[in-house]
Structure 1
Amino acid sequence: MSTTRRPVRALALVSAMAALLLTLSGCLKLDMNLTFNADDTVDGTVVLAVSSSLLETTGMSFDEAFGSEDPFDGEASSSEAYEDDEYVGRTYTFDSIALSEFGDEDMKVTHEDGTFVVDGELDLSGGEETGMSGGEVKVAFTFPGKVESSNGTISGNTVTWEGEAGDVIKIDAVASDSESSGFPVLTLVWVLVGLVLVALVVVITLVLVRRRNARKDGVEPGAAQAYEAVPGAPAAAVPPAPGIIDVPPAATDVPPAAADVPPAPAAGDVPPAPPATPQQD
């Protein structure tokens, strides 16, 4: 369910206060830091101060010059004295103030369909007849989500506008009421690609290492497995381990005796002994 809120009345009160200060001098300090929350509440601080030299000239304090009444009509949660090297004033603090409590026709802040839209102006001119200028003016709005567009200076979820007393500051901004929750698809894709590449490198490395180790052992990787994979194929011949001397197999075929060797005579075919030599007297 979307909600639409009335314009930020606090800004109109600031403009009125600034106009009062400008009737005395252009030495105004306005430092507004407001945070718009997704639950339609506002937090932050507003510093309103004038030149300390001006107060010394008048002989009055800030509260004496402008009264102790809250310029924000009770919408500020608290306030305290403010002083620096050049300015004296008060700091007004807002703590979870309902956005519906703010409103003016010059400034519109709407919260609808998950988006904050700021459209308006902050009139610090004090009227054309004053002709005042100078001082320090800074307005900063912080949103729950990303700032989509603005005529101010964008830094993260904060938009800042700067000027000086006598200016009419145009304030435009469009911002989300929550941080982006979209799933980072592109990031996931790159992560998956990286994991795949790492896996490929690991697999290739393991294969190369196994092949190198197999060559050192004298066995071609996958040779035995290739024979075993075919049904009925003979077992693969595995070479002997290195360092073992190959001994040739024993001869099984004995060649026959030479053909030109005469056979031994039979027992009955013994030739007669030669005649005896006669003896001489």
Structure 2
Amino acid sequence: MKRKLLLTLVLCIVFVLSGCMKADFNVKVNEDGSVDLNHVIAVQNEMLSLMEGENPIQKQEFETMGYKAEDYRENGYTGVRVSKHFKTADEMNAFLNKQKQQGETTFNITKEEGFFKDKYVFKGNLDMTDMTEGNAGEDEMGMQAFMSQLDFKFNLTLPMKVTKHDASRVNGNTYTWELVAGQPNNMQLEAEKTNIANIALVVGGAVIVLAGIGYLLIRRKKQVTV
């Protein structure tokens, strides 16, 4: 698959086609702690015509990896949309780490539980350095120059307050990192979620204590009056 992708990139350079390939990686963390992955990887239709219609991105490869995959044809691009649902972040981490190979993507969401707040830490690395392997001299310079024009993005949507991040931009609860082909892409984010149940428990306990104190004060006042 990597050889076909490299062929696509070379053709992009030869014909100077801006935006010939795009990859949108989407991760959504839900209120119940479950996680949904939804990715689109596609090639511009003009590029496919130069390759005699042979798309280097095949959904069968993603299905073999355990994803649900379907054909994608929108806005002048053809490729695949892949998705997968996980009950917990740990389940997703285990799935991705099982498929990880040396020098490729790492992705983890960890949860640090607290009484009033839970802290979520996201760390990711989409390593695309191997996309330039085997190129040297002018070929390497041309490849790197054009790779900066490819449309690769990673979007993380969260239902909680974010306290720290290094995203390229933010839109509501979605944090987007612009990925650079041919380079390692490190991402980091921290978020907090309030434990409503525990806070309610504390407030409820405080109300009971205050009610008890009030009852004692009223009772004492009555005794003094008598």
TM-score (norm 2): 0.59
Does residue 107 of structure 1 match 2:99? no
Q: Select the residue among 74, 82, 86 that pairs with 2:72.
A: 82
The equivalences for 1:23-38 within 5 A come to: 23-25=7-9, 27-37=20-30
Contact 1:107 1:118 in 2 (8 A): no
The equivalences for 1:206-217 within 5 A come to: none
Contact 2:126 2:185 in 1 (8 A): yes
1-structure distance, mates of 2:85, 2:124: 23
For these two proteins, the number of residue pairs brought into alignment is 163
- TM-superposition CA deviations, 1:28-86 (whole Å, max 9, x none): 20011111346653213100011211211111242xx344423364332x222112333
Structure 1: segments with no counterpart, 5+ residues: 1-16, 184-281
Contact 1:81 1:90 in 2 (8 A): yes
Q: Percent identity?
A: 23
Does residue 69 of structure 1 match 2:32? no
Q: Select the residue among 92, 102, 109 that pairs with 2:82.
A: 92
Structure 2: segments with no counterpart, 5+ residues: 13-19, 113-117, 201-226
2-structure distance, mates of 1:137, 1:19: 19
- TM-superposition CA deviations, 1:77-129 (whole Å, max 9, x none): x2221123332101112223632212247524132213222223212341353
1-structure distance, mates of 2:49, 2:37: 30
2-structure distance, mates of 1:42, 1:49: 23
RMSD: 3.0
Does residue 22 of structure 1 match 2:28? no
2-structure distance, mates of 1:165, 1:88: 20
Equivalent in the alignment of 2:224:
none
2-structure distance, mates of 1:119, 1:55: 35
1-structure distance, mates of 2:7, 2:194: 43
Contact 1:79 1:92 in 2 (8 A): yes
Contact 2:162 2:190 in 1 (8 A): yes
The equivalences for 1:65-214 within 5 A come to: 65-71=56-62, 73-76=64-67, 78-96=68-86, 98-99=91-92, 100-103=94-97, 104=100, 106-113=105-112, 114-125=118-129, 126-128=131-133, 129=135, 131-132=143-144, 133=147, 134-152=149-167, 153-176=169-192, 178=193, 181=196
1-structure distance, mates of 2:38, 2:185: 19
Contact 1:47 1:89 in 2 (8 A): yes
Q: 1:122 to 1:72 in 2, by over 3 A?
A: farther
Contact 2:109 2:122 in 1 (8 A): yes
Q: 1:87 to 1:124 in 2, by over 3 A?
A: farther
Contact 2:42 2:77 in 1 (8 A): yes
Contact 1:163 1:169 in 2 (8 A): yes
* Code of the aligned partner of 1:166: G
2-structure distance, mates of 1:149, 1:18: 34
Equivalent in the alignment of 2:16:
none
2-structure distance, mates of 1:163, 1:142: 17
Contact 1:136 1:165 in 2 (8 A): no
Q: 1:83 to 1:141 in 2, by over 3 A?
A: same
Greater strand share, structure number: 2
What is the CA distance between 1:179 and its match in structure 2?
5.2
Larger radius of gyration: 1
2-structure distance, mates of 1:61, 1:42: 33
TM-score (norm 1): 0.49
1-structure distance, mates of 2:2, 2:156: 19
